[in-house]
Structure 1
């Protein structure tokens, strides 16, 4: 059999199309597996005879594991190569999904930890590839296309998992997720050799895992970016974790109807990521766009808090589509801005650092959301309180823009 053309022989346009398509597909698989339990939480909770609100702790375990993995992901990507690291992440998704299919709280907790380690690896690997093969003029849009994998994955989970759970049992939904991960891992095999020509097998895995955090703290604009991701991801994960349970237990929606709202919300996030990426490239100021997104995110949160029984279902669909476009739509622009301001060769490491900060926010925010629900007894008010969290990201965006303006004035070209 004749060997296929190397990556260097492929025209640049086709090369980035290949990289974006592959990283997008991998992200869809990882994200759908991580979003699966929140979409069928009422069904799983009934089977295990526990409260559906416990899904918050499952998500917390995912991000606790992602936080730890993110500290090592930069070195793993550079040692193995980004393509091989993405394959490892997909294999880990399969294992975590199978563990989560076991109807036992300890097994599902272990499954969450395994799934989280894949989440901590896939984003730095993808960021490394996109920064390496992408062009500066369209970097926001390129990252946004890849990051649509997160809401698309959630949309896939929301559209399919409830139906699978009702027809074949909730364990089958996790089995399907495991099979999809293994298929995606095999599909990446022909690509990783040409992608991983820059890998460095001599990089030690036991290097200081906190070096990327120190680097991020030492560069002012990166410091503000870490605050932005910490704030916005809390809003995003609390929304995606609890919206189905809220609609079923308080909104009078069936599980299938709530799954449809979840999918519409994720669709809004996917469209938002593409639109915000285009806006950021057009304006040439991704950080300012992150601030605009935060303002609209806070407004959508306050709108959710004002929902009453008089609201029509189409109005609720529309509101959550807007909420998704902002609370789920910011990530592509964020990762592009992070790559743009990262020192040479440090994109994957700083992407891992951003995941660490995000995970810290989730580890604090999701349990707090769960605990506050026990106190307030109403999800709508809690979604409204997320507007305050979004305001922290808005403030950090403004301070980052101010810092860059001062730096540009002090160091004119």
Structure 2
């Protein structure tokens, strides 16, 4: 008998099982890790990059905000592009932008850094919608939360790769070598994806056209997804507030050394990785994602209130434990969240729905740290600033409740 064709794989009740589903998951996770590592190279090598490009170190730090802003805009049309050319091809295009961005950075000028930032931001904005489109086709519903959660570990994995590999390589050679190595690994990955491209892109539709506001129309048509997007905004604001100011809080108010604070941050990221997988397994076990998201939001709100009110008076070990627990929740929600977005979407619109809610999520990434910084500037207290992610988590609970009500109302009408 001839081997099954892509269309047969997609309609089979066993789709996503075995080699094909595993290959999709590994590829999507690795693409996410490479693009995340590219996003974090400049912040990781900030002192060397700033000196080489003739910029203040603080200005280089603003690159992260610019990257996420560009990623937010790129995600508006990313899902449409993935449907038009295929999710695998869209992933290859994203990887190609990372390669070009790494090569441009070698020029070592402020304009080169700006162009690199633009390219990396667009690449990052393209990855999640393309991955969601692939995973929706090759993942059985009963495994969706775990698979999406594993894929989302690509984000901290990219951070670990950048944090562990970039500084030693830059010290051994120079910062240009780091960009060259990342560019080479990314190019190799893009070429390897070509092996599966025909099978994975069998659903591409060249007739799909770009829209003025891109995927945001999905939020207008589907009210539950609109509330999911707002919940993502709140949860992302809480997550980035924690990651952006945890070190400063530990050093300036808990009187922990900078080296020790760096180790604790690593533990927080590790807790987030384990959390993403654990919460995904729990959601699959329950057969529902929303209760897990509710629980995580409640836990986040409580933990941040405790950190804000008691962090400065608790023993250091207990305050650190609270921060690590906050990492497990505030960094661990993403996979279950995207799985719920996929569940509430029409199969043909999973990529567009993912892109649409990510626009609001990226807005949370930009707004959260900015408001936290404003609170710290006005109050001169990082502890007080942690009330912001607590409030954001509480608002996420409200959004999730509205999402459930909107979904129930839609189901009753049908």
TM-score range, shorter chain: 0.7 to 0.9
- For 2:50 and 2:283, locate their aligned partners in 1 and report how far apart those are by CA, in whole Å: 42
Gaps of 5+ in 1: none
Q: Are the aligned partners of 2:49 and 2:175 in contact in 1 as well (CA < 8 Å)? A: yes
Deviation at 1:371, TM superposition (A): 4.3
Q: Aligned partners of 2:213, 2:195: CA distance in 1, in Å?
A: 33
Report the alpha carbon displacement of residue 134 of structure 1 after superposing the two structures with TM. Answer: 0.8
Q: Choose from 253, 257, 261 the match for 2:257.
A: 253
Counterpart in the other structure of 2:161: 156
The runs of 5 or more residues in structure 2 that have no matched partner are 10-14
Structure 2 Cα separation of the partners of residues 293 and 195 of structure 1:
34
TM-score (norm 1): 0.86
Is the Cα–Cα contact under 8 Å of residues 228 and 400 in structure 2 kept in the other structure? yes
CA distance in 2, matches of 1:113, 1:389: 29
Equivalent residues of 1:290, 1:333 under 8 A apart: yes
Q: Distance in 1 between matches of 2:103 and 2:330?
A: 29
Q: 2:224: which partner in 1?
A: 221
1:210 deviation in Å?
Answer: 2.0
1:214-293 superposed matches below 5 A: 214-244=217-247, 252-254=256-258, 257-293=260-296
Aligned partners of 1:230 and 1:358 also within 8 Å: yes
Q: Does 1:81 find its partner at 2:86?
A: yes
After superposition, give the CA deviation of every residue in 1:11-40 in whole Å (9 maximum; x if it has no partner): 832211111111111111111222334444
Are the aligned partners of 2:269 and 2:331 in contact in 1 as well (CA < 8 Å)? yes
C-alpha distance in 2 between matches for 1:113 and 1:11: 34
CA shift digits 1:309-342 (9 cap, x unpaired):
9754x65654443222211111111111111111
Contact residue 74 and residue 126 of structure 2 kept, 8 A: yes
1:29-53 CA-to-partner distances (Å, cap 9, x unmatched) read 111222334444466567756354x
- What is residue 396 of structure 2 aligned with on the other side? 393
Q: Whole-Å Cα distance in 2 between the matches of residues 166 and 248 of structure 1?
A: 26
**Structure-2 change in CA distance of 1:387 and 1:354 (3 Å):** same
- 1:295/1:317 Cα in 2 relative to 1: closer, same or farther (>3 Å)? same
Where does residue 31 of structure 2 map in the other structure?
26
1:121-140 correspondence runs (5 A):
121-140=126-145
Distance across 1 between alignment mates of 2:36 and 2:383: 25
Counterpart of 2:100 in structure 1 is 95
Distance 1:287 1:97, change over 3 A: farther
Counterpart in the other structure of 2:71? 66
Using the alignment, how far apart are the partners of 2:313 and 2:107 within structure 1? 38
What SS does the aligned partner of 1:345 have? helix
Report the alpha carbon displacement of residue 356 of structure 1 after superposing the two structures with TM: 1.3
Structure 1 residue corresponding to 2:192, chosen from 179, 187, 192: 187
What's the RMSD between the two structures over aligned residues?
3.1
Q: Aligned match of 2:304 in 293, 298, 301?
A: 301
Q: For residue 50 of structure 1, what is the aligned residue in structure 2? A: 56
Cα 1:258/1:352, change in 2 over 3 Å: same
* 1:94/1:181 contact within 8 Å kept: yes
- CA shift at 1:219, angstroms? 1.7
Secondary structure of the residue aligned to 1:285 is: coil
Q: Which residue is 1:347 aligned to?
A: 350
Equivalent pairs, count = 404
**1:125-176 CA distances to partner (integer Å, 9 max, x unpaired)?**
1000000111011111111111111122222223333444555455544443
Secondary structure at the residue paired with 1:203? coil
Compare 330-339 and 160-169 and name the one that shifted more: 160-169
- Is 1:337 the counterpart of 2:340? The answer is yes
Note if contact 1:299-1:387 (Cα within 8 Å) is conserved in structure 2. Answer: yes
Distance 1:177 1:303 in 2: 40
**Rounded Cα–Cα distance in structure 2 between residues aligned with 1:31 and 1:239:** 18
Deviations 1:242-289 (A, max 9, x none): 44566567755346x544333322211111111111111122221221
TM-score, with normalisation over the residues of structure 2? 0.85
* 3-state SS of paired residue (2:62): helix
Q: Is the 8 A contact 2:301 2:393 kept in 1?
A: yes
Secondary structure of the corresponding residue to residue 272 of structure 1: helix
Instruction: Decide which of 114, 122, 141 is 2:119's aligned counterpart.
Output: 114
Distance 1:300 1:215 in 2: 34
